[in-house]
Amino acid sequence: MLETAELGRRKRGRGRGRMSLGNAAGRRGPCRERLPLQGHLWYDRPGHFACFLTMEETGREAVATAVQRVAGMLQRPDQLDKVEQYRRREARKKASVEARLKAAIQSQLDGVRAGLSQLHSALHDVKDVQQSLANVSQDWRRSINTIESLRDVKDAVVRHSQLAAAVENLKNIFSVPEIVRDTQDLTEQGALLQAHRKLMDLECSRDGLMYEQYRLDSRNTRDMTLIHSYFGSTQALSDELAKQLWMVLQRSLVTVRRDPTLLVSVVRIIEREEKIDRRILDRKKQTGFVPPGRPKSWKEKMFAILDRTVTTRIEGTQADTRESDKMWLVRHLEIIRKYVLDDLVVAKTLMVQCFPPHYEIFRNLLSMYHQALSTRMQELASEDLEANEIVSLLTWVLNTYTSAEMMGNVELAPEVDVSALEPLLSPHVVSELLDTYMSTLTSNIIAWLRKALETDKKDWVKETLPEADQDGYYQTTLPAIVFQMFEQNLQVAAQISEDLKTKVLVLCLQQMNSFLSRYKDEAQLYKEEHLRDRQRPHCYVQYMVAIINNCQTFKESIISLKRKYLRSAGEDGVSVSQPSMDGVLDAIADEGCRSLLEEVFLDLEQHLSELMTKKWLSGSNAVDIICVTVEDYFNDFAKIKKPYKKRLTAEAHRRVVVEYLRAVMAKRISFRSPEERKEGAERMVREAEQLRFLFRKLASGLGEEADGYCDTIMAVAEVIKLTDPSLLYLEVSTLVSKYPDIRDEHIGALLAMRGDASRDMKQTIIETLEQGPTQASPNYVPIFRDITVSGLNVAKLLK
């Protein structure tokens, strides 16, 4: 078995070596790369490729590979039966490889044979060319002497060419003065196309002569100067024609409406000159010759003329100055808007038909107008503008320019895309203008508010009643003036931008806060001045009522203003200022209400002093007078708006009761008998009912229920009315539990007014009440807290 394996290994090793060699030859084909020199150099025959192989290493590698394969196939004894089968399979593989190798070698041999054939043909062609070149060289050497003998003929040909050119141009040369005159006449007559044709003939003759002279002798400046001077009027004609063209272009927007043919002629002339310029420049690259006055670049000059025309048109729209017309800037901007819109519409609908498409005349005009406007706006922004002028400028730049009234007009669409337009003013300039505007507006608002307040103060001292609104409430014109001013400034700011509108609103509210402080101080001074002379001003009460109503109007106007000009309630922290302003306005109104009540109680002072006196007990009508006086004042107070009228009514009710109780505690009377106590208590009850009826009447429709104040008088009357002194402690305890703010001195004064309480009883009642203080309910409104018992103390009352 081992001998058989070794035999197979050897056979397979030989086959493997041959297969590897064949594969190498089949893969590589004809050797076109130089291989590293390894082993021995082997040639098959001349003309064929050579390959470098290391035969010994290849053989060893093939043997090792064969051994591995045979070992892999014969690992078990039963595989020995398949040795013949393995041998046949390997033989088939060997035959296949040899066939492929033979085919590859045959293909390469055919290619080499074809290549050799082409090389032989090329060699013959090279020999033929070499022979032809030798023959040409020999002929050239023999003809050198012949060429030298023909030099005179060459010079004669050159002279003949010059004379032919001169003869050809003689007619044009002699007709130059006539052409010049015709060109001048045609230019003056406005026949621009014909004039330009004549001018082109002149320039062509001149340029042709100068070019021929340049070719013959480029250094001969004398002849060049002679030709140039002879055609000297040509340049003047060109300049004169150019002036005519520029005049037409300067009035192109008018010309295109009246005589578009003239504008088309101008464009045709410019286009001709552009073609001549291009031809001259192309010839310059070849010959270096450029005729005088070239290139004219009339197309470039045309756009420069249009640009200057646009700039002049924009600048020429300012017809007024600030000294002659306060609205000069508004008029100036409106004229610009109208002119620019009209011009661009004409350019879009008419001018584009007169220019070649590659001129892009509308796009260029749009760019010129935009640049001219930007420059003009920069100039206006650099001037010392007033606040309203800054608003007008920014509104025009930021809104009007891109609106449907101007660049966003449907007649300019779709060629004009407003979103693609650059801003007329840089953000830095806009920011500076806004800062200037806000600074100026702040000063103006302060001045306006001060002036409005001074005007309102003058109304306070008038002898006539203040105005009333549609509901009959007194008011002055101050809120309307202030908020009309705010409204106007906010409307103006809203035209510029939402951010500016918000900033102006914040500014207005801030200044309103400061203004309200001054308003409060002026109202206080108004009150103090009246107290020095209560006869003046004559309508003090009515104007104080108007001041109180103004506070409510201010609150409503502030809310309305914020609701109208704010997108959201908390925008930019504006809402933070509202509570503080409400507080100031409430303080002003409350102070006004106190001033009115002070006025009332100054008139009631004499009648309040009669309460709880002998005169009162014997039948005084002090309370009747008090009720009539209060009701009379409240006829004027009816002109106060509901929120503050409700407060005033409640405070008046409380104040009257407090003054009544203060009279009780003043020790003006001491009852001597039960009959007097009963009579006094019953009188107190009647008067309490009288006051209750009065204030119920005054509070009707206000939703104010304050009967508890008059109940206090009745509760005190019950203590006085009590006939059994032994129950006095119980009655006083009930009073204290109902009114926890009552103090010892109040009880002492009340017991002193009864006149029948012994010292021990007073001491017992007071000491007992001191040991168990009563807690007040959350809804309790203190009333005794404001009542002081002057000149009395508990120790004195106990004596």
443: which 2 tokens?
Answer: 């000063």
What does the pLDDT read at residue 319?
Answer: 74
Per-residue model confidence (pLDDT) at position 756: 74
Residue 297 has pLDDT above 50, yes or no: yes
Reply yes or no on whether the pLDDT at 113 is more than 50. Answer: yes
pLDDT band at residue 90, thresholds of 50, 70 and 90?
confident
Measured CA distances, 716 to 112, 249, 370, 731, 795 (Å): 145, 105, 89, 10, 22
Share of the chain above pLDDT 90, in %: 24
Nearest Cα neighbor of 796 from 743, 745, 742 is 745
Could you report the per-residue pLDDT of 722-735, keeping only the tens digit for each?
887 778 888 888 88
Q: What is the pLDDT of residues 20-76, one digit of tens each?
A: 333 333 333 433 333 343 333 343 444 433 344 467 888 888 888 888 888 887 777
Is the pLDDT at 217 greater than 60? The verdict is yes
pLDDT in tens, 574-611: 544 566 788 889 999 999 999 998 889 898 889 998 88
Task: Quickly state the pLDDT bin for 419 (edges 50, 70, 90).
Answer: confident
Tokens of 6: 């070794």
Rg (CA), the chain: 60
| Residue 761 near residue 728 (C-beta atoms within 8 A) | yes
Contact 602, 534 (CB under 8 A): yes
Element (H, E) at 452: helix 427-460
Write the single-letter amino acid at 8.
G
Least confident of 381-395, 511-525, 591-605, 777-791: 777-791
For residue 726, give every residue at least 6 positions away whose Cβ sits within 8 Å of its Cβ, in sequence order, or none: none
Please give the Cα distance from 692 to 573 (Å, whole number): 47
Mean pLDDT for 192-198 is 85
CB 486, CB 561: distance < 8 Å = yes
Average of pLDDT values for 228-236? 76
Pairing of strands 51-53, 40-42: antiparallel
Contact of 364 with 461, CB cutoff 8 Å = no
**Are 390 and 436 in contact, with CB atoms under 8 Å apart?**
yes
Considering only CA atoms, which of 552, 541, 569 is closest in space to residue 632? 541
679-704 burial by CB neighbour count: b if 16+ within 10 A, else e? ebbebbbebbeebbebbeebbeeeeb
Determine the pLDDT at residue 775: 63
Quick one: average pLDDT of 541-561? 91
**More reliable by pLDDT, 14 or 512:** 512
* Vertex 633 angle, CA 630 and 639, to 5°: 130
Q: Which of 116-125, 258-267, 787-796 has the lowest mean pLDDT?
A: 787-796
Enclosing H/E stretch for 543: helix 540-565
Structure tokens belonging to residue 527: 């009150």
Q: Which residue has the higher pLDDT, 217 or 638?
A: 638
> What gap in Å lies between CA 499 and CA 496, rounded to an integer?
9
pLDDT (0 to 100) of residue 772: 55
Q: What is the pLDDT of residue 44?
A: 43
What's the confidence (pLDDT) of residue 310? 92
CA dihedral 635, 639, 641, 645 (to 10 degrees): -20
Q: CA-CA distance, 163 to 158, in Å (whole number)? A: 9
Prediction pTM value: 0.63
386-400, 594-608, 714-728, range with the lowest pLDDT: 714-728
pLDDT at 501 over 80: yes
Calpha distance 553→243 (Å, rounded): 71
| Residues forming a β-bridge with 129 | none
* pLDDT average, residue stretch 387-413: 89
Q: Are 794 and 765 in contact (CB under 8 A)?
A: no
For the residues 546-561, what does the mean pLDDT come to? 91
Mean pLDDT along residues 12-17: 41
What is the predicted pLDDT for the residue at 372? 93
Residue 579: its pLDDT value, please?
A: 65
For 323-370, the pLDDT digits (tens) are 777 888 889 999 999 999 999 999 999 989 999 999 999 999 999 999
pLDDT at 301: 92
Q: Which amino acid is at 338?
A: K
Q: What is the pLDDT of residue 302?
A: 92
How would you class 620 by CB atoms within 10 Å of its CB: exposed for 0-12, middle for 13-18, buried for 19 or more? Answer: middle
Q: What is the average pLDDT across 496-518?
A: 89
Q: Across 664-781, where does the E strand assignment appear?
A: none
Most confidently modeled of 58-62, 468-472, 485-489?
A: 485-489
> Does the pLDDT at position 799 exceed 50?
no
- Judged against a pLDDT cut of 80, whether residue 14 lies above it is answered with no
Residue 645 CA neighbour count, 13 Å, CB half: 22
Rounded Cα–Cα distance for residues 314 and 375 (Å): 10
Q: Is the pLDDT of residue 717 over 60?
A: yes
Q: Which amino acid is located at 182 in the chain?
A: D
Classify 307 as helix, strand or coil: helix
**Cα separations (Å) of 164 from 157, 210, 215, 227, 585?**
10, 15, 15, 18, 109
Write down the pLDDT at residue 294.
81
The per-residue pLDDT for 22 is: 36
Q: Could you tell me if 744 and 766 are in contact, meaning their C-beta atoms sit under 8 angstroms apart?
A: yes
Considering only 63-72, 93-102, 266-275, which range has the smallest mean pLDDT?
Answer: 63-72
Q: Say if CB 270 and CB 244 are below 8 A apart.
A: no
Residue 577 pLDDT: 52
**Does the pLDDT of residue 679 top 80, yes or no?**
yes
Query: In this model, does residue 227 exceed pLDDT 80?
Result: no
> Taking residues 392-408, what's their average pLDDT?
90
What does the pLDDT read at residue 325?
A: 79
Helix and strand numbers (H, E) in the chain are 28, 4
Weakest-pLDDT range from 29-38, 421-430, 466-475: 29-38
Neighbours of 373 (CB within 10 A): 22
Average pLDDT over residues 266-294: 86
pLDDT at 11 (0 to 100): 41
Average pLDDT, the chain: 81
Residue 275 phi, psi (nearest 5) = -65, -40
The number of beta carbons lying within 10 Å of the beta carbon of residue 658 is 17
| Omega within 30 of 0 (cis) for the link into 295 | yes
Burial 417-455 (b: 16+ CB within 10 A, else e): eeeebeebbeeebbeebbebbbebbbeebeebbeebbee
Tell me which DSSP letter residue 79 carries: G
Helix axes 427-460, 387-395, angle to 10 degrees: 140
Average pLDDT over residues 374-398: 89
